[in-house]
Structure 1
Amino acid sequence: MKNFKYPFMVLLGGAMYGTMSSFVKMSYTLGYNAAEISFAQALLSALFLGCIPRKTKLTRHSWISLLLTGGAIGLANFLYYQSVSYISASLAIVILMQFTWFSLLLEWIIFRQQPGKPELVTVLFILIGTVMAGDLLRDGALSISWQGIALSLAASLAYAAYIVANSRVGKCVNWQTKSTLIMAGSALTIFLVNAGTITAHNHFGATFLLWALFFSVVGTTIPTALFAVGIPKVGAGTSAILMTIEFPVAVLCAHFVLHERISPIQIAGIIIMLTAISAMNYFKSLKK
């Protein structure tokens, strides 16, 4: 049971992440928008995480690096939340999962870390699974909002940038301080990009605060703590595989909460993508 505790923490954190897109889309029916939701989520998370006691000294370079890293995840969340206002939550998560090979591409371009043949093969299967899971071959697929797909792809690229940066900055900083600064950078970036919308067209009030608390606690604060405790015990490679639970949870949540349709070919595509992503993370862990 003890050995299962830490993998369960990682699984639970990933599953909690997976529920967000459906509930964000549900909140849109109340008139809320992606800018105010993502900003409030990041700001409250920074405040919650900032209340956790810690002792650390940071250099100016560490401060800036962590804030910029937070800016990447802030953009990813905002763009992802924005995309579900144009396309289904299940399609949005399928497109977002392209971060797995985007991160390989970024490491190749920036750090000259060329992926091996096994990793390239898994990318091919991820793309095949994406077409199937996104139901992009059905009649009427061309009527899908390409603006929504573009936003999801941009979110995926920003998420990949966050993962690459997060793996390289703040390695000697405790998780409380690192998470707080990343969330602060996230909130700051979202506000700078959407200052006009947040200040002029907001719905701040008691009901909105309850939604913001839910997104902050369930979507950021608790998963961050679970990952901080569980990932060091489980290992990065295994954790990356366990965290893919976010994908099926997001699709299932969209089906049961939003009543979005899931066809057998989509289920097959999801299985192909999950298998390919797990294989990619396995090959990456072997290289390390």
Structure 2
Amino acid sequence: MKKARLLIIVAAICWGTIPVFYHIMSAAGLNSMQTITMRFSFAALGYVLYLLIRDRSLLRIKRPRHLLYFVGTGLCSLAFFNFCYITCIRHAGVAVAALLLYTAPAFVLLMSAALFREKLTGRGLLSLVMTVLGCAFVAGAFSGKGLTMTPAALLWGLGSGFGYALYSIFGKYALRHYGAETITAYTAVFAALATFPLSEPARLIRLAANPSVLLSALGCAVVGTVFAYLLYTAGLSKVPAGQASILSTVEPVVATILGVLLLKETMTIHKLCGIALVLGAIVVLNLQKSSEAS
């Protein structure tokens, strides 16, 4: 269990590097949907080729209806939540979008209780509250700068959180029949297929000739997608979906720290409070597991 939780935390650290890669690709002229498409396309192509060389049996689908699991993880989760997230940013800015995205643990806890009979413990609920507050601090909700929240922004933001949560739910079902490698490969394939038509393909192909774009897309695909989702899915096989979702909120903490170190963003007392709350929520979860073990 400890190893599985560590895998999820490392996966979240990998996700936290994504804004750095996105920053480089955006500077080269790609819009948000194009950066996402590049990420998923490189991940899908690279991982499928890798499995074809290493063990093509891992790409075998046992039953046609099992494709619905990967439609769920790739299209309904990754593609859907990224589209909602980008739209929410256009309506209300990054801070509000980031705050609403991390309503995902609440959705996961509720759906896991209903679908998988996972228990809602006092410590689990406390860690959830700490996580939501921590993400709110990181997003700047309490900075006094007057974050706007229109009905459209709220709906798109909650949609991103719900879509983000669906990976943990569909992933749990898929893990009953497939390993983490198969799930990660097909998730990337369906996410790429869903986002490519929305990315202005002709313009994207021209911009992709830029070496900095290619290298950034490759890094984002390997570190922020294949490696991250492989680790998260492996950890998800041993950790309840609700706890996995809370552990993954290390991502905005890492993104904030890298933003300060590499992108020269400012560190504020609100961000420090948010980091402390998110890390504290992870400690609470670990205490919960320790008490159960004893």
| TM-score normalised by length of structure 2 | 0.75
- The residue number in structure 1 matching 2:62 is 58
CA distance in 2, matches of 1:37, 1:137: 30
> Structure 2 counterpart of 1:70, which letter?
G
Q: Deviations over 1:204-262 (max 9, x none)?
A: 43213333222212211233445566x389x4369767644423211111222332222
- The residue number in structure 2 matching 1:198 is 200
SS state of the match for residue 200, structure 2?
helix
**How many residue pairs were aligned?**
278
Q: Are 1:236 and 2:239 counterparts?
A: yes
Q: Deviations over 1:50-92 (max 9, x none)?
A: 122332442011122222321112222344456667634x775
CA distance in 2, matches of 1:75, 1:281: 31
Gaps of 5+ in 1: none
Q: 1:219–1:79: structure 2 CA closer, same or farther, 3 Å change rule? A: farther
> Structure 2 counterpart of 1:128, which letter?
L
Q: 1:13–1:188: structure 2 CA closer, same or farther, 3 Å change rule? A: same
| 1:89-238 pair list within 5 angstroms | 93-108=98-113, 115-142=120-147, 151-191=156-196, 194=198, 197-199=199-201, 201-202=203-204, 203-207=206-210, 208-227=213-232, 231=235, 235-236=238-239
CA distance in 2, matches of 1:187, 1:284: 37
For the aligned residues, what is the CA RMSD? 3.7
| TM-score normalised by length of structure 1 | 0.77
Conservation of the 8 A alpha-carbon contact between 1:130 and 1:269: yes
> Structure 1 counterpart of 2:80, which letter?
L
> Structure 2 counterpart of 1:29, which letter?
A
CA distance in 2, matches of 1:42, 1:170: 21
Conservation of the 8 A alpha-carbon contact between 1:67 and 1:184: no
CA distance in 1, matches of 2:144, 2:180: 48
Gaps of 5+ in 2: none
CA distance in 2, matches of 1:136, 1:273: 15
